[in-house]
């Protein structure tokens, strides 16, 4: 039986992970799990720790381990520490030896995609055997490649065999935010449901809810959700970034969020992108000038 399914032992820890409740994952009591689920649970906990910014600890934890799962985790930790080449190296090796391992696929896919190797990531992920984690990742890769059409296909296929799963709902909502129209509202429902129930709420889902509301044009509600998120975790870069966007839309001053974002995550896509666009502007503007100077 699939340990992540509704009846499985790992359902809760797995859901916590995907709901972004990383601390709950780390704190999860794994002592009661059956022996075959110990490793997957450990993998989840290690991934959660990396997500919490404890990549070094996680790396130390898995150093010297032989299991491909843990080696993949080592790669993920390296990636998080900025050693992208080393991480990709590990994964490429694993992809040769243990490509059928789900954890290798999922974690490897993450590492490859984070390193910008989308095609390789997709190649690795597509070998999965009914893993929703892999499906969700594939969806995200497609979306990052702006291939909404392929993402839609992937989700629709997954919905057929795993209807009630959290991951399918999430992936569908990600796609929904690209498709727009009525899908905005549906995505909003999914995120709101997660964000507002105390058992499932996390900063990530709160931010997701806020994003959906931004897309729906409901700035005040989005503001409320972001405030809620920032109250929980004041240094959550995504919350700051989206608050910045929100303030731009509302015509407010954004200097505060900008400095905050620069302080928390200088490499945030928003900042990188903006710097790039700023250069582009200057370059483009330089092509024009007045005929006469006064």
Binding residues among 224-253 for other proteins as defined by CB under 8 A? 238, 241-242, 244-245, 248-251, 253
Among 37, 83, 196, 264, binds other proteins (CB under 8 A): 196
Instruction: Say how far apart CA 1 and CA 83 lie, in whole Å.
Output: 37
Stretch that binds other proteins, among 16-24, 28-36, 60-68, 97-105 (CB under 8 A): 16-24
Question: Left (φ > 0), alpha (ψ -120 to 50) or beta: where does 130 sit?
Answer: left
Q: Closest CB to other proteins among 101 and 136?
A: 136
Contact flag: residue 110 with other proteins (CB under 8 A): yes
Task: Report the site for other proteins in 50-109 (rule: CB under 8 A).
Answer: 50-51, 76, 79-80
20 binds other proteins (CB under 8 A): yes
Q: How far is the CB of 286 from other proteins (least distance, A)?
A: 6
30 is an interface residue for other proteins by CB under 8 A = no
Tell me the number of residues near other proteins by CB under 8 A: 95
Nearer to other proteins, 90 or 241 (CB): 241
> Of 28-36, 63-71, 92-100, 215-223, which part binds other proteins (CB under 8 A)?
215-223
Q: What share of the chain is helix, strand, coil (3-state, %, to 5)?
A: 70, 0, 30
Residue 136's alpha-carbon distances to 83, 112, 132, 150, in angstroms, are: 25, 15, 6, 12
62: which residues sit within 8 A by CB, 6+ positions away? 46, 70, 71, 73, 74, 77
Residue number, 129 or 294, with CB nearest to other proteins: 294
In sequence order, what DSSP letters do the residues of 213-228 get, joined into one string?
Answer: HHHTT-HHHHHHHHHH
Report the site for other proteins in 254-293 (rule: CB under 8 A). 254, 268-270, 273-274, 277-278, 280-282, 284-293
Q: How far is the CB of 6 from other proteins (least distance, A)?
A: 6
Under rule CB under 8 A, which residues in 127-166 are in contact with other proteins?
136-137, 140, 143-150, 163-164
Which of the ranges 28-36, 63-71, 97-105, 196-204 carries the binding residues for other proteins, by CB under 8 A?
A: 196-204
Single residue of 88, 214, 225, 260 touching other proteins by CB under 8 A: 214
> What are the distances in angstroms from CA 79 to CA 47, 51, 54, 122, 262?
12, 11, 12, 18, 21
Of 215, 223, 230, 260, which lies in the binding site for other proteins, with binding defined by CB under 8 A? 215
- b/e code 102-129 from CB counts within 10 Å (16+ = b): bbbbbbbbbbbbebebbebbbebbebbe
Q: Report the residue from 200, 223, 228, 259 that binds other proteins according to the rule CB under 8 A.
A: 200
DSSP string, 61-105: HHTT--SHHHHHHHHHHHHHTT-HHHHHHHHHHHHHH-TT-HHHH
Min. distance of Cβ 224 from other proteins in angstroms? 12
Q: Which of 119, 130, 157, 232 binds other proteins (CB under 8 A)?
A: 119
**201 exposed, middle or buried (CB, 10 Å; 0-12, 13-18, 19+)?**
buried
CA angle 72/2/65 to nearest 5° reads 25
């Amino acid at each position: 039986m699939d340990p992540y399914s509704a009846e499985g032992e790992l359902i809760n820890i797995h859901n916590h992970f995907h709901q972004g409740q990383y601390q709950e994952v780390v704190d999860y009591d794994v002592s009661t799990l059956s022996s075959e689920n110990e490793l997957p649970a450990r993998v989840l906990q290690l991934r959660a720790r990396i997500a919490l910014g404890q990549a070094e600890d996680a790396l130390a934890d898995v150093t010297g381990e032989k299991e491909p799962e843990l080696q993949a985790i080592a790669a993920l930790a390296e990636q998080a520490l900025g050693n992208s080449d080393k991480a990709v190296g590990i994964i490429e090796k694993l992809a040769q030896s243990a490509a059928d391992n789900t954890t290798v696929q999922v974690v490897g896919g993450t590492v490859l995609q984070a390193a910008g190797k989308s095609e390789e990531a997709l190649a690795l992920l597509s070998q999965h055997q009914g893993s929703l984690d892999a499906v969700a990742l594939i969806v995200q890769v497609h979306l990052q490649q702006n291939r909404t059409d392929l993402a839609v296909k992937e989700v629709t296929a997954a919905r057929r065999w795993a209807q009630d799963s959290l991951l399918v709902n999430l992936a569908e909502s990600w796609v929904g935010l690209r498709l727009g129209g009525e899908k905005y509202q549906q995505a909003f429902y999914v995120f709101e449901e997660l964000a507002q129930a105390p058992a499932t709420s996390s900063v990530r889902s709160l931010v997701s809810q806020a994003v959906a509301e931004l897309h729906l044009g409901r700035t005040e509600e989005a503001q409320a959700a972001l405030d809620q998120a920032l109250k929980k975790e004041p240094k959550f870069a995504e919350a700051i970034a989206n608050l910045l966007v929100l303030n731009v839309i509302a015509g407010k001053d954004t200097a505060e969020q900008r400095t905050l974002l620069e302080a928390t995550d200088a490499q945030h896509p928003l900042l990188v992108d903006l710097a790039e666009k700023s250069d582009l502007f200057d370059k483009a503007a330089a092509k024009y000038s007045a005929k006469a100077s006064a």
